[in-house]
Amino acid sequence: MTPDRLTRRRLLGTGAAALGAGVLGLGPRRLHAQSNVALQLSWLHSSQFAGSYIAMDRGWWSEAGLDVSLLPGGPNAPVEPPVVSGTALVGISAADYTAAAVEEGAPFKILGVAMQKNPFVVASLPDNPVNEPADLVGKRIGMALANTPVLQALCTLNDVDMNEIDIIPTQYSAQPLLAGEVDCLLCWETDLPVAMAIQGIDSVTMLMADHGYAVHSQTYIATNDSIANRRADLVALMSGEVRGWEAYRQDTDAAAELTIEMYPDAGLDLETQKLQAARQVPLMFSDLTESNGFGWWTDDTVAANIETLALLGRTVTPDLWDRSILEEVHGA
């Protein structure tokens, strides 16, 4: 999932050379696969999806009888259509995109939540920081106009008058902030702040999830038909995801190296991938996942999502989330 699939741009430098095999200690295992399935990613290949790469590299899916294809997303490759058509068994989306699709009649359920905290941040510079929503008053914020409902939701949740914020339409780049054209940027924690850090520039990030903006991100979606008729494949796929992401957080540098080894032509910079991988961990793992396992959610987190989604103009009910596959994966 991306903050704005039509405006987010790759901010990575030239790719590093492909690394040697066995980055994560175990090479791929060539076992007979009984089912061909596809996982539709929400964006282009990068360490954002490295848990999936680990599951593939270590042969965990093939052990479970799956031959998994990882389909890259991008600005011209939305997640939802391949899942509806059956081209992909599962897609990686976000609660707001899924809610919009369901309103149009798509038969989706959310099976798991990879990012426990939404990655949207307001990024600023240390000499003029935005530490809390109230600090936005009087500031010029650079953002895609398509994300105006996101800013409005944050303001509503924190009693901030959005009319007192100057919205400046910008491309998805740190340059307007660095040039002094804006005071802050609406972006993801794992991209523009990382791009600045790679350039040696410190930034301040205010994670919107810490101020009430609750929208599940990097979520796994499947159709009702798949849940009913391809349950074993869903359990096997999600089991591999759980194992992959647990391994990922044990060594994010190795996960970044594997990403570049598997996709040497993706134009990825190793140091950028390492930093992105590390910054993803606190978004994906929490006390909730420590207690219940990767991908978990509760009635309370769903209620918070429903509240925020309503501010984004999306009406959903708790049955959009189906935890039955995850419960089987974790042995609940």
pLDDT score of 15 more than 90: no
Name the pLDDT band for 75 (thresholds 50, 70, 90).
confident
Burial 276-294 (b: 16+ CB within 10 A, else e): bbbbbeebbbeebbeebbb
Name the pLDDT band for 76 (thresholds 50, 70, 90).
confident
Which residue(s) pair with 141 in the sheet? Answer: 167, 184
Q: Which domains does the chain have, with CATH numbers?
A: 35-116+215-329 (3.40.190.10), 120-211 (3.40.190.10)
| C-alpha span between 282 and 108 (Å, rounded) | 27
SS3 at position 213: coil
Q: What share of the chain is helix, strand, coil (3-state, %, to 5)?
A: 45, 15, 40
pLDDT score of 23 more than 60: no
Instruction: Determine contact, residues 187/150, Cβ cutoff 8 Å.
Output: no
Name the pLDDT band for 201 (thresholds 50, 70, 90).
very high
| C-alpha span between 126 and 154 (Å, rounded) | 22
pLDDT score of 124 more than 80: yes
pLDDT score of 128 more than 90: yes
Task: Write down the pLDDT at residue 87.
Answer: 97
Where does the chain have alpha helices with state H? 50-57, 60-63, 80-85, 95-103, 148-157, 175-178, 192-198, 224-229, 231-250, 252-262, 270-284, 287-292, 299-311, 324-329
pLDDT score of 71 more than 80: yes
Q: What is the mean pLDDT of residues 164-184?
A: 98
Task: Write down the pLDDT at residue 7.
Answer: 39
pLDDT score of 11 more than 90: no
Burial 41-63 (b: 16+ CB within 10 A, else e): bbbbbbbbbbbbbbbbbbbbbbe
Task: Please say whether the dihedral angle defined by the alpha carbons of residues 149, 151, 156 and 160, taken in this order, is positive or negative.
Answer: negative
Instruction: Determine contact, residues 252/274, Cβ cutoff 8 Å.
Output: yes
Task: Write down the pLDDT at residue 32.
Answer: 52
For 137-166, how does the pLDDT look when each residue is reduced to its tens digit (9 = 90+)? 999 999 999 999 999 999 999 999 999 999
Which residue(s) pair with 185 in the sheet? Answer: 123, 142
Query: How far is C-alpha 254 from the geometric centre of its chain's CA atoms?
Result: 19
Instruction: Determine contact, residues 74/7, Cβ cutoff 8 Å.
Output: no
